C-alpha cells in the first residue's frame, strides 16, 4: 500500500519528526489509543531521540519487545523500517533471520521528495509477505493500516507545519478532572490539614528540611511526597528542570495554559534546563520568578522570594527534594512555606484558602507526573 501527502515544509524540517518515531518514544503521530498506549504522540521535537542508526529497533508499542528495525537511513530523504513478526507474540525477530512457520514480514518506507516553494511530498509504502494461513489477517491489516497511515500522515503534516494544538483532548479531559478537584478543595477547607501532608506521614512532613530557614515562621504550608520505582539518578533530572520556561510542571497542562502559562510538559531531560543557584523558577511568563537560593545536585533545590505585588514582609519558599529509599527507589518531596503580614487583604491574597486549594491539586499531579516519567525512562533504560 502506498500513501502520500504534500506538506508545506522542506524535507529538513520534516525529517526530525520521522527520526523520533516509535512506541514509548515520540509515538507514531497516528491513533494513539491503538499504537501508543493512549499516550499522546509528541507535539515537539525531542533532542534525545534524534540519534537514529541502521540496526536500531523502534518499539511497535510502548513496553513491547517487538519493533521495527531501521534498515536504511538517507537523511533527509529516505527512512526504511522493517520487521519480522509472529502475530500474537510480542517478541522481536531479526528482519534478516529465517521466517518461522507463521510469519508477517514487512517493510515500511518513508520518502521525502522536495517540491518547489519549499514544500515536500511525503510518500509512505508498506510491503508485506505472510504465511498462507494469515490471508484473513492480511485483509484485516490492510484496512487497519489504511486508516492508521492516513492519520499518521496528517499528524506529521500538522507537526512539521507547526499547526498542531499544544493541548490535546487528553489534556483538556485531565484538566476538567483537575478543575473538579479544585472545586472540592474550595468546599472542604477543614480537610486542609490532611492535604498538607499527602503522601507522607505526619512525622515525615513536620521534620526539618534544608531551606526551612528561608521562611522560618510560615503561616501555612504543605509537604507532599511520592515514592518512585527508580533510583535517584533517574529521578533528579526531571525534578531539576521544572518551571514554566523549562520543562513545565508535569501537571494539568491545559489548566496552566488556560491562565496564560504557555507551557508544554516535557517528556525528556535537557541538561540546559537544570536549575542552579541564581537561576529563576518561573511560575508564569508575566510574573517575576523565584530565585533558586539553595541547590545540591541529586538532593534538593529551593526557590524563595516575595510574591509578585506582595505586601511588605510577604515571602514564600518552594523546595524540591529527592531522597533515596533503597538502591532502586526514591521519594520526591515538594514543600511550600508561606508567610505574610496581618490583614484581611493579605490573608486573602497570600493565605491558604485559594492558593492551597489550587496548589494541592496541581502539586499532587506534578509529583505523579514526575513519577510516571522517571519510572518510564528507567524501565526503557
Q: Are residues 177 and 243 in the same domain?
A: yes
Peptide bond into 76 cis (omega under 30): yes
Alpha-carbon torsion, ordered 49, 51, 56, 61, to 10 deg? 10
Q: CB of 370 within 8 A of CB of 225?
A: no
Residue 124 forms beta bridges with which residues?
A: 3, 110
Q: In the prediction, which pLDDT does 326 show? A: 85
Residue 109 C-alpha cell reads as 518506507
How many domains does the chain fold into? 2
Residue 83, domain extent: 2-160
Among residues 112, 137, 160, the one where a domain terminates is: 160
Residue 357 C-alpha cell reads as 486549594
Q: Are residues 61 and 206 in the same domain?
A: no
Q: In the prediction, which pLDDT does 101 show? A: 92
Among residues 110, 129, 160, the one where a domain terminates is: 160
Q: In the prediction, which pLDDT does 344 show? A: 81
Q: CB of 318 within 8 A of CB of 303?
A: yes
Residues of the chain with pLDDT under 50: none
For residue 320, count other CB atoms closer than 10 A to its CB.
Answer: 25
Q: CB of 243 within 8 A of CB of 275?
A: yes
Q: Are residues 130 and 182 in the same domain?
A: no
Chain mean position to CA 170: 13
Please report how many Cα atoms fall inside a 13 Å half-sphere around the Cα of residue 312, on the Cβ side: 0
Residue 2 forms beta bridges with which residues?
A: 125
Q: Are residues 318 and 175 in the same domain?
A: yes
d(CA 81, CA 32): 20
Q: Are residues 142 and 205 in the same domain?
A: no
- Determine how β-strand 290-296 pairs with β-strand 300-305: antiparallel
Residue 67 forms beta bridges with which residues?
A: 59
Q: Are residues 321 and 372 in the same domain?
A: yes
Residue 105 C-alpha cell reads as 514480514
Specify the DSSP element, H or E, that contains 162: none
d(CA 131, CA 141): 14
Q: In the prediction, which pLDDT does 379 show? A: 75
CA nearest neighbour of 62 among 104, 108, 12, 26: 26
Can you give the CATH number for the domain in which 258 is found?
3.30.530.20
Residue 163 C-alpha cell reads as 499547526
Q: Are residues 204 and 129 in the same domain?
A: no
Q: Are residues 358 and 230 in the same domain?
A: yes
Among residues 127, 160, 193, the one where a domain terminates is: 160
The conformation of residue 306, written as its DSSP 8-state character, comes to P
CA nearest neighbour of 341 among 312, 309, 374: 312
Q: CB of 3 within 8 A of CB of 153?
A: yes
CA nearest neighbour of 370 among 265, 284, 256, 295: 265
Residue 76: CB partners within 8 Å, gap ≥ 6? 11, 12, 14, 15, 112
Amino acid at each position: 500500500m502506498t500513501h502520500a501527502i504534500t506538506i508545506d515544509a522542506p524535507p529538513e524540517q520534516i525529517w526530525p519528526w520521522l527520526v523520533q518515531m516509535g512506541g514509548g518514544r515520540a509515538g507514531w503521530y497516528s491513533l494513539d489509543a491503538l499504537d501508543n498506549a493512549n499516550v499522546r504522540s509528541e507535539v515537539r521535537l525531542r533532542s534525545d531521540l534524534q540519534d537514529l542508526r541502521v540496526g536500531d529497533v523502534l518499539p511497535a508499542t510502548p513496553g513491547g519487545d517487538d519493533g521495527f528495525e531501521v534498515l536504511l537511513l538517507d537523511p533527509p530523504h529516505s527512512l526504511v523500517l522493517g520487521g519480522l513478526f509472529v502475530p500474537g507474540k510480542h517478541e522481536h525477530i531479526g528482519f534478516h533471520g529465517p521466517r518461522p512457520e507463521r510469519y508477517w514480514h514487512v517493510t515500511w518506507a518513508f520518502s521525502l521528495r522536495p517540491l518547489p516553494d519549499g514544500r515536500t511530498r511525503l510518500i509512505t509504502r508498506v510491503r508485506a509477505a505472510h504465511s498462507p494461513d494469515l490471508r484473513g489477517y492480511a485483509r484485516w491489516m490492510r484496512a487497519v493500516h489504511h486508516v492508521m497511515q492516513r492519520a499518521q500522515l496528517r499528524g506529521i503534516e500538522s507537526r512539521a507545519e507547526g499547526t498542531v494544538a499544544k493541548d490535546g483532548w487528553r489534556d483538556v479531559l485531565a484538566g476538567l478532572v483537575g478543575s473538579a478537584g479544585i472545586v472540592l478543595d474550595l468546599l472542604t477547607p477543614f480537610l486542609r490539614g490532611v492535604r498538607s501532608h499527602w503522601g507522607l506521614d505526619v512525622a515525615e512532613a513536620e521534620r526539618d528540611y534544608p531551606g526551612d530557614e528561608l521562611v522560618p515562621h510560615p503561616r501555612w504550608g504543605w509537604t507532599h511526597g511520592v515514592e518512585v520505582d527508580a533510583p535517584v539518578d533517574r529521578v533528579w533530572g526531571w525534578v531539576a528542570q521544572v518551571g514554566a520556561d523549562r520543562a513545565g510542571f508535569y501537571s494539568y497542562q491545559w489548566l496552566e495554559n488556560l491562565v496564560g502559562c504557555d507551557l508544554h510538559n516535557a517528556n525528556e531531560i535537557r541538561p540546559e534546563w537544570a536549575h542552579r543557584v541564581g537561576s529563576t523558577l518561573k511560575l508564569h511568563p508575566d510574573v517575576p520568578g523565584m530565585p533558586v537560593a539553595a541547590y545540591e545536585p541529586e538532593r534538593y533545590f529551593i526557590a524563595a522570594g516575595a510574591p509578585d505585588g506582595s505586601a511588605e514582609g510577604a515571602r514564600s519558599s518552594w523546595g524540591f527534594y529527592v531522597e533515596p529509599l533503597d538502591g532502586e527507589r526514591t521519594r520526591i518531596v515538594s514543600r511550600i512555606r508561606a508567610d505574610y503580614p496581618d490583614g484581611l487583604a493579605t490573608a486573602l491574597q497570600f493565605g491558604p484558602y485559594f492558593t492551597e486549594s489550587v496548589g494541592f491539586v496541581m502539586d499532587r499531579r506534578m509529583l505523579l507526573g514526575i513519577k510516571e516519567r522517571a519510572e518510564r525512562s528507567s524501565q526503557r533504560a
